[in-house]
Amino acid sequence: MEHQMYRSTGIAMILGALLIIATMVLHPSGGTIEHIIKISKTIRSAHALAIFSLPILLFGFYGLTIALLDKWKLSILGFIVITFGLIAAMFAALFNGLALPYFLNKYADTLEQNIETLNMIKNYGFAINIPLDYVFIVACCFSILLYSIVIILEKKYPRWISYLGIFITILSIVGGLTDFVFTNLVGFRIFTFSIAGWVLSSGILLVKHTAKK
């Protein structure tokens, strides 16, 4: 039964990573209110896919947490942290990916009369989105760092996956110190693709290596 749980949660990690990659590929760039209204269906579809992937990812991380359970219970801390990060990602997707396009579409026929107010609302939405993105980014890095440390200490997985997690964390810290913009589309894609790569690799290892025990 335990091996079946590891297999199902490993598959969930793989599926969640693929859905996140698909989300970032589909994710359009922002722009003016007119542009947002024009591509609102694409925006909503991409963010709905992202929200759909989050509980799948969380289920996958649950399996990884159990598989890496150590005497210090650091993997549980990693799970708690990633949960906060995924909740922040959910709110970011809800606000700017679903609520904002829906709201702006209500004024599609009266843009000229309301453009100043709508721009303020759009800018406020983006201002909310930035700290939520950073909560997600920091939570992902800290959680992956914790999982990587446990992998090294417990020797349950090949060490390359832990080194990859540490490398991603170090690069993210360097990016933060050098004012790399994580919250624009290019920066967020780079970060998300790197995280998705680690999650995908961890899911494959969860299916393959844990099942051998």
- Mind listing the pLDDT tens digit for each residue in 104-124? 988 888 888 888 888 898 889
- Mind listing the pLDDT tens digit for each residue in 45-96? 999 999 999 999 999 999 999 999 988 899 999 999 999 999 999 999 999 8
Cβ–Cβ < 8 Å for 149, 131: no
The predicted structure's pLDDT at residue 1: 52
Question: Whole-model pTM?
Answer: 0.92
Q: Which of 11, 20, 1, 2 is nearest to 206 (CA)?
A: 11
- Model confidence band, residue 210 (pLDDT cutoffs 50, 70, 90): low
What rounded mean pLDDT belongs to the chain?
Answer: 91
Residue 32, CB half-sphere, CA atoms under 13 Å: how many? 8
- For the chain, give every domain's residue range: 2-212
Identify the burial level of 153 via C-beta atoms within 10 angstroms of its C-beta, where 0-12 means exposed, 13-18 middle and 19 or more buried: middle
- Mind listing the pLDDT tens digit for each residue in 20-48? 999 999 887 767 888 888 888 999 999 99
Question: Rounded CA gap, 166 and 144, in Å?
Answer: 8
Question: Rounded CA gap, 98 and 48, in Å?
Answer: 8
Identify the burial level of 159 via C-beta atoms within 10 angstroms of its C-beta, where 0-12 means exposed, 13-18 middle and 19 or more buried: exposed
Cβ–Cβ < 8 Å for 20, 50: yes
